[in-house]
Amino acid sequence: MRIPSTVGLGLGLAGLLTAAVPAAASPQQPVGREIAPQRQHLAWGPCSAAQKELNEAGAQCAEVAVPLDYADPGGRTIQIAISRIKAASPSERRGILLSNPGGPGGTGLANTLALRPALKDVAKRYDLIGFDPRFLGESTPVSCAPAGPPRPPGPVTTPRADFDASVASARDTARRCQEHGDNAELLPHASTRNVARDMDAIRAALGEPRLSYYGVSYGADLGAVFTQLFPRRADRVIIDSSTDPAATQYELFQRAGGPLEEGLDEWAAWAARQHERYGLGRTGAKVRATVQKLLDGAERRPVEVAGQRMNAPVMRLLLRQLVQHQESDPALASVVRDLVDAAAGKLGEPGPELAALLELLNSPDLGDSMVGGALFMCGDGGWPAGGWPKDPETYWRNTVRSRATQPVFGPVVNGMIAPCAFWKSPPREPGTAIHNKVPVLMLQATRDNNVPYEGALALHRKLTGSRLVTADIRSHGVYGRGSEGHRPVPCADDAVNDYLRDGTLPSRDLTCAPEGAAR
């Protein structure tokens, strides 16, 4: 239910390997000659062979035809792949429950199935509907021209050389994506607002008056967009780990810098208490110094691990990936220990944690997730996914400035140039403005260093009918943590399930402690 690891890392590598939001029109304003979607005759059958879990669960799959361009509803259509697990208790059936796992760029055909352990008895009251967003997975997928074999870092480098390489890669990704096949016709229609419209088309195709929804990370923002475009079609909507609707995607990346450094401080204090095991320093400051020395060295000479050179930008992304969850503290310590040993020429085989990350870096899934993220980051005209500066020097200047206060993560969140800087087709619509009273249940962790807590508070103020459940944890994602092996937050899980069960929001905002925490 979290943002998939390949997606999260892929968005960062989009820049390495490959101002406020403009005033939006009224959120309910249709685009061009947009018309209401209709019920469709769907050809239900087994899901594709790739969807093993869905088939084992007895799900069926189908395709919903939607307009490529909602301003031209009679024009070209594309296919949205959906899955369905029917409500196990027809007499208690509430309706349909859709979900999105985040990204942007995450596929979701099996995502609602993955929610079942957390939903518990509530799952039997809903038809669980999964879907791949347009142009991803099995929904009229878009691909880019092959990138060719990656160029590994050389034996020596500089921060500017690393940045210039990321700029060249982003420019090449934009070219390969826009010039491939009929992408020039498709890509202008990759936007969060269109995915929300596709969700409404799914609802109509199934003959349902409204839909319920759970989304995490970018999926949370997608849910908020849906409530603005289709307020009367929103039933019970839960958004987990959301962002400030007054910021662009690049600004949201930048705002994560401070919380990421705070998360690293928290981890460093923990690692200092584990010095006898990891040997990274007996105080938090000494642990931080160990990390900084590692990065400073890699900015001159990339570190070789298992025959693969790792430069400082890639190391920073791995650190960011692991610092998100408190439960990953031991893995982060193990990875840093291995990298320090590798830099000193003392590492034999990497430990299982670093070996798994190296496998992810070399996975073909990483490239696919990078492409999916780029489509929506470049297609949105503002919040939640768009708004990227065009001048590469903007990223470089911000990177240089950030090092004084954010020495570890400032270069990541400020220098993450997306292919959007070189995208030829401008967004068709502005970002989405938030201003209505649709009831929404919001969840957020206070120490979320991916999408900071202050952003959720800003969205909460705009969603005037919402209730906010706060979890005092370092985590990205709050609901269903126990089913993923993390420390659960029972009162947050209960709030979600109670809302889906009986439709009652909490009477006030809540603050929850994780399981077993002192109260």
pLDDT for 300 equals 98
Structure tokens at 169: 């890669």
Residue spans of alpha helices (H) in 17-115: 52-56, 111-114
| Cβ count within 10 A of residue 220 | 30
Structure tokens at 129: 């509907």
pLDDT for 368 equals 63
Instruction: Give residue for tokens 């919001």.
Output: 442
DSSP result, 121-141: GGGGGEEEEEEPPTTSTTSS-
The candidate with the shortest Cα–Cα distance to 128, out of 79, 178, 61, 73, is: 61
Hey, what amino acid is at 162?
A: D
State the chain's mean pLDDT as an integer.
91
Instruction: List pLDDT tens digits, range 139-188.
Output: 999 999 988 777 788 999 999 999 999 999 999 999 999 999 999 999 99
Instruction: List pLDDT tens digits, range 274-303.
Output: 999 999 999 999 999 999 999 999 999 999
The candidate with the shortest Cα–Cα distance to 102, out of 193, 203, 188, 223, is: 223
Q: What is the DSSP letter of 508?
A: S
- Global pTM? 0.93
φ, ψ (nearest 5 deg) of residue 58 = 80, 20
Provide the annotated active-site residues.
217, 448, 476
Instruction: List pLDDT tens digits, range 385-421.
Output: 999 999 999 999 999 999 999 999 999 999 988 899 9
Instruction: List pLDDT tens digits, range 346-369.
Output: 998 999 999 999 988 887 667 666
Instruction: List pLDDT tens digits, range 298-352.
Output: 999 999 999 999 999 999 999 999 999 999 999 999 999 999 999 999 998 999 9
pLDDT for 481 equals 95
pLDDT for 31 equals 42
Residues 6+ apart with CB under 8 A from 352: none
